[in-house]
Structure 1
Amino acid sequence: MDRQKRQRKKRVFKILLIFFILIIAVFSYGFYQYYQGLQLANVDQEAPTKEKNQEEEFQGATIENNIGKVNILLLGIDARDEEQSRTDTIMIAQYDPKTESAKLVSLMRDIYVEIPEHQSYKINTAFFLGGPELLRKTIKTNFDIDLHYYAIIDFKGFEKAVDALAPVGIEIDVEKAMSEQIGVSLQPGLQNLNGKELLGYARFRADAEADFGRVRRQQVVVNALKDEVISVNGVTKLPKLVGTVTPYIETNLQTLEIMGLLKDFILHPPDHIDTLRIPVDDSYVDASYPHAGAVLEINKEMNKQAIDEFLNLGGLETTN
């Protein structure tokens, strides 16, 4: 009997030892991939310097009760522009590991808003005037949303991230021919797009839909990237992916926090990323001001309520 117990203990010990070795191997591989990604990024001399136009440190909200639900301000800019950047893409990403849900709010850049301590203007002007902190204040003032973190990614970094994650490209059904002002020429049909092509698809707005179509396509791209990230192939490349894009990202998230969010995302992947576009339908009119040009004049209460219901209560897709 004692002999059987000893043998059983040996088997258990061997199994635990195998798991221990596997865990070490996974973490070693992860860090190797991460630093390999950093080295690849550093070879590229086109990596932009970080934005320097913010006037104040980002004062993100504290995550209440440590429940894990996080709101991240995502900003896309083109650092190759010589002038100070007005962010081209403004999104709020929310992930809740407890409910395994992910949500994305796209704020159209021409929304006319109150900018604290400045004249009312388009929402993307807040970033131009005071960086992510002034934009955070502007979003809080107009929509009453608490943001915990921010991340600014340059478009060059987006291209590199896509190519590192999916060397054969991301499958997208391109709905029409696209080429004007996007740096690539796309033809209609289901196809795999590399980083530069996917960025062009997401930025295209030279048609009747204009900026509304661009926002819709950006949300399509986010869901397509999500599917690639949580695939078995994508999971093994995540550390390298983080290392590759790090030089192109400005964020108040630390590397370990990023890895932690990625870990939660992988262990509790959402089936779908619910999306909301602001302004919602029937809540805005086209307007124009001498100092701001063409803008979207919105019903703030209607849109504030839509965001609150979307992030805190519901989660139905409302891209429109």
Structure 2
Amino acid sequence: MRSDRYQQKKQTKKKWKSIVLILFLICFGLIGYSYFQYKQGVSQSLKKANIDGKEEFEFHGDKDQYGGTNILLLGSDARGNEKSRADTIMIAQYHPDKGTYKVISIMRDIYVNIPGYGKHKINAALAFGGPELLRKTIKENFDIDIKYYSIVDFNGFVHLIDEAFPQGVEIEVEKAMSAYIGVTLQPGLQRLDGKHLLGYVRFRHDAVGDFGRVERQQKVIKEIGSQFKSIQTIAKLPKLVGVMTPFVNTNMEATDILYISKDFISKDIQDIGTLRIPIDGSYSNQRVSGSGSVLAIDLEKNKQAIHEFLAK
């Protein structure tokens, strides 16, 4: 009797050892496959684009007070080694507990105090001291912490869109656009490649100027998110992250990007929340010697709007 029980326990133990070994091999295989796909994506991008070595920036960010992970998204038109102002400034928040994704657009002409430099347009902080100084500027003026940064230049944006969306991104173009964007766009629903999509999000030479441009940028973020969910699967993510890597200067690890992207695809995210700073009724257009036309804002109103938006 005791011998039978011993044999039974021995067989059960052996069975569990086999199961654990199989699970280990599966996990090891998935990690190996993911790494191979990631490196393949990196190699694919490097072959198609002439990408110089990335400048390394210090960045001392942290999670925000609401438990979210904030990413400073910057669009830059830097050429060569010149120090460029930020053409686009956004804060993207991912909240793992709530499963929410939000984007705040900060208009580049907002007139604020930049630590160590005095009052300037907020986009000058990138040229003065890189993403770390811009992080400090946002912290000082709006009391929001940012953990990561990602800088995409215009050339990188074009390649990134073309790699991620070979058939283009479907966008409803609301009007004819051509001034100072390098392409001509006609109104209507169409699929835009990277070059034409860049022109769409950069256009600002109409009656609403930069406000219309920010609205289009948020619209494109939402459309890319929606179309990304419909065409991508989790299995394709490692290669896509690899494709992105050469075009983006960031302090995020590939594993961080994969984690956030995986949740976005796998969870039922209905929409990406958006906010524009300054909010309506909180700013005025002014001219300042040495800075030109600026947006003078009510800091307290806009700080409150940001905190209410991120805390929801």
Query: Into which bin does the TM-score normalised by the smaller protein fall?
Result: 0.7 to 0.9
- 42-51 or 186-195, which deviates more: 42-51
SS of aligned partner of 1:187: coil
TM-score (norm 2): 0.87
Distance 1:220 1:31, change over 3 A: same
Question: 1:165–1:238: 8 Å Cα contact kept in structure 2?
Answer: no
Match of 2:10 in 1: none
Matches within 5 A, 1:207-222: 207-222=206-221
- 196-205 or 121-130, which deviates more: 196-205
CA distance in 2, matches of 1:217, 1:45: 27
Shift of 1:185: 1.2
Match of 1:302 in 2: 301
1:35 and 2:43 equivalent?
no
SS of aligned partner of 2:276: strand
Q: Deviations over 1:150-180 (max 9, x none)?
A: 1111222222221122111111000011111
Q: Deviations over 1:97-142 (max 9, x none)?
A: 2212111000000000001111200000011100011101100111
In structure 1, what residue type is equivalent to 2:116? E
1:289 and 2:293 equivalent?
no
CA distance in 1, matches of 2:231, 2:218: 23
SS of aligned partner of 1:231: helix
Runs of 4+ in 1 over 6 A off after TM superposition: 11-22
Name the larger-Rg structure.
2
Q: Deviations over 1:263-319 (max 9, x none)?
A: 23333352100100000001000001111111000000010000010011x3xxxxx
SS of aligned partner of 1:147: coil
Distance 1:203 1:18, change over 3 A: farther
Structure 1 unaligned segments of length 5 or more: list them.
1-10, 315-320
Identity %: 51
Match of 2:77 in 1: 78
In structure 2, what residue type is equivalent to 1:136? R
Match of 2:6 in 1: none
Shift of 1:31: 2.5
In structure 1, what residue type is equivalent to 2:144? I
Question: 1:48–1:80: 8 Å Cα contact kept in structure 2?
Answer: no
Match of 1:246 in 2: 245
In structure 2, what residue type is equivalent to 1:204? F
Question: 1:41–1:247: 8 Å Cα contact kept in structure 2?
Answer: yes
Match of 1:60 in 2: 61
Question: 2:237–2:262: 8 Å Cα contact kept in structure 1?
Answer: no
SS of aligned partner of 1:296: strand
In structure 1, what residue type is equivalent to 2:84? S
Shift of 1:256: 1.9
Match of 1:3 in 2: none
Structure 2 unaligned segments of length 5 or more: list them.
1-14
Question: 1:48–1:248: 8 Å Cα contact kept in structure 2?
Answer: no
CA distance in 1, matches of 2:70, 2:215: 20
Match of 2:171 in 1: 172
Matches within 5 A, 1:1-320: 26-51=30-55, 57-62=58-63, 69-80=68-79, 83-233=82-232, 235-312=234-311, 314=312
Matched residues, number: 308
SS of aligned partner of 1:110: coil
Question: 2:70–2:92: 8 Å Cα contact kept in structure 1?
Answer: yes
Question: 2:149–2:251: 8 Å Cα contact kept in structure 1?
Answer: yes
Distance 1:138 1:234, change over 3 A: same
Shift of 1:246: 1.2
CA distance in 1, matches of 2:179, 2:17: 63
Question: 2:75–2:86: 8 Å Cα contact kept in structure 1?
Answer: yes
